[in-house]
A and B are shown apart, each in its own frame.
Chain A
Amino acid sequence: MRGEANVRAQVLLWGAQRISAMVLALCVVVRLITIIYAVRNGLSAAEILGRTRGSFAWGGFYALFVAAVAVHAPIGVRNILAEMGWRGRGVDILMLLLGLTLAMWGWRAVWAVVA
């Protein structure tokens, strides 16, 4: 169909969503454990930043997490839109922008709590 990504690209997008899903599954487990641990005595900025500031491990972890989300979410939204009859180059560009926005905003947030 006109304006649609070719078959090879479609398969690779599917694969990218699954691989990012595998990364996310691990990230989310770590994340949920952290949340449940962190909220025990209520959240405080000092406690959160005390954990993250200057930590390469947390910084790397969250940077990877954000990257995986930025790949995973736009592909999912693209599928939903396609099923509602909204497909083509315009949608693909919009999804690329969504991914870039998520990545930039996400990394900015990571920087904010790590640096």
Chain B
Amino acid sequence: MAAMLKVKIWRGAEAGQFQEYEVPRLESQTVLDVVTYVQRRLDPSLAYRFACRVGVCGSCAMTVNGVSRWTCRTHVSKVAADDHLEIAPLRNLPVIRDLATDMREFFDKWAKARGQFTGSQTRKDEFAAVKPESKERKRVDAAIECIGCGVCYSSCEVVTWKPDYLGPAALSRAWTLVNDVRDVAQQERLAAVAGDAGCHACHTHLNCTERCPKGISPTAGIAGLKRAVLKATLKGEI
């Protein structure tokens, strides 16, 4: 372990350049620690986002040595074998400044993919009984821990090619709701995620599955949507 890390950080918006900093190397140091050190000690004008520091909030994702990652739980020792770090904003999203991206489109697409739960019961009704071992409940479990960090969206090649593609996170959310037996807006949801801007644009590159820090496979959910939408289309529901 060298005494100092050589860190290149993106400065500027879409147009900009990398600036180099030297940061003391510490035991158990995370990439977020490095960025915070730069902002507090070397250059207070550096813009970046974080909140919880423990992998819950999903706000600190960046591109580290070319790969999208959650920085609060990425140890420097894991990604900077030669003591060099290159830290850039997430891809496929407009850069506001330095390491902060505009995530509006990312979240708007969740809404577009009908990522909201629509129930039919009221508080006066009985609890819905969903068996933990049912197929649907297990599929919900597979993707329910998404923290909305944007790593999958930033890693997805299809988003780069087709900017109107809904992307892995929004589609994975839709699949979770498709498997929510209490939801009553299934037909509209399947229509919302169908076709070339929806699930059928996915090429199973598995970039999202490879990079998701929570170990979720959006590709699996998208495959489920492809089948469900095809079935609904053949039945004439779409």
Contact = CB atoms under 8 A, between A and B. Distances in A.
A10 B162 contact: no
Interface string B127-166: 0000000000000000000000000000000100110100
A10 B226 CA distance: 12
B230 A7 contact: no
A79 to B, nearest CB: 8
A83 B162 contact: yes
Nearest to B229: A11
Interface of B: 158, 161-162, 164, 191, 194-196, 198, 200, 226, 229-230, 233-234, 238
Contacts of B162: 82-83
Contacts of A82: 162, 196
A4 B196 contact: yes
Interface string A1-33: 100100110111011000000000000000000
Given A12-B233, A15-B233, A15-B234, A7 B195 contact: yes
Contacts, number: 34
20 contacts: A1-B164, A4-B196, A7-B191, A7-B194, A7-B195, A7-B238, A8-B238, A10-B194, A10-B195, A10-B196, A10-B200, A11-B195, A11-B200, A11-B229, A14-B226, A15-B230, A15-B234, A82-B162, A82-B196, A84-B161
Contact of B233 (A4, A8, A84): A8
Given A10-B194, A11-B195, 15 more contacts: A1-B164, A4-B196, A7-B194, A7-B195, A8-B233, A10-B200, A11-B230, A12-B233, A14-B200, A14-B230, A15-B230, A15-B233, A83-B158, A83-B161, A84-B161
A11 B161 contact: no
Contacts of A10: 194-196, 200
A96 B213 CA distance: 43
A64 to B, nearest CB: 22
B192 to A, nearest CB: 10
Instruction: Give 7 closest A-B pairs by Cβ, nearest first.
Output: A10-B195, A7-B195, A83-B161, A14-B200, A11-B233, A10-B196, A15-B230
A82 B158 CA distance: 11
A97 to B, nearest CB: 20
Nearest to A9: B195
A8 B196 CA distance: 10
Contacts of B191: 7
Contacts of A1: 164
Nearest to B192: A7
Contacts of B164: 1
Q: Specify which of B194, B198, B233 lies most central, judged by the most chain A CB atoms within 10 Å of its CB.
A: B233
A108 to B, nearest CB: 33
B70 to A, nearest CB: 28
A82 B201 CA distance: 10
Contacts of B158: 83
Nearest to A87: B196
Interface centre among A4, A7, A83, A84 (most CB of B within 10 A): A7
A82 B164 CA distance: 12
A82 B194 CA distance: 16
B17 to A, nearest CB: 28
